Amino acid sequence: QGLKPLVPTKAPDPIFGTSKPAPGLPSTDPFLGTNKVPDLQKIFQRSDGLPVHLKRGYPDRMLYRTTMALTIGGTIYCLVALYIASQPKNQ
């Protein structure tokens, strides 16, 4: 009898072997918009002395300030909680 080869001798037919677009769909992808990368590169590479996380103006400033306020507030809260937890208990 002998051993049978594990690899098929004939390649299977491709399942997705067509390059035609599906019927009823537009030929271009509607989700692809204009390329915004060159515009963003101009903004972020401008030498105006601002750090990169503040380059886009007001929304970036508000996010930065909110993050800093939450960080400082959380630090103060933790320090107060540690101080209160370290006080001896009155019985």
- Give the tens place of pLDDT for each residue, 27-45: 555 566 788 888 988 988 8
Which stretches of 19-88 are assigned E, i.e. beta strand?
none
Q: Per-residue pLDDT for 22 more than 90?
A: no
pTM for the full predicted model: 0.53
The yes-or-no verdict on residue 21 having pLDDT over 80 is no
Task: Read off the pLDDT of residues 65-89 as tens digits, 9 standing for 90 and up.
Answer: 999 999 999 999 999 999 999 999 8
Spell out the domain ranges in the chain.
53-90
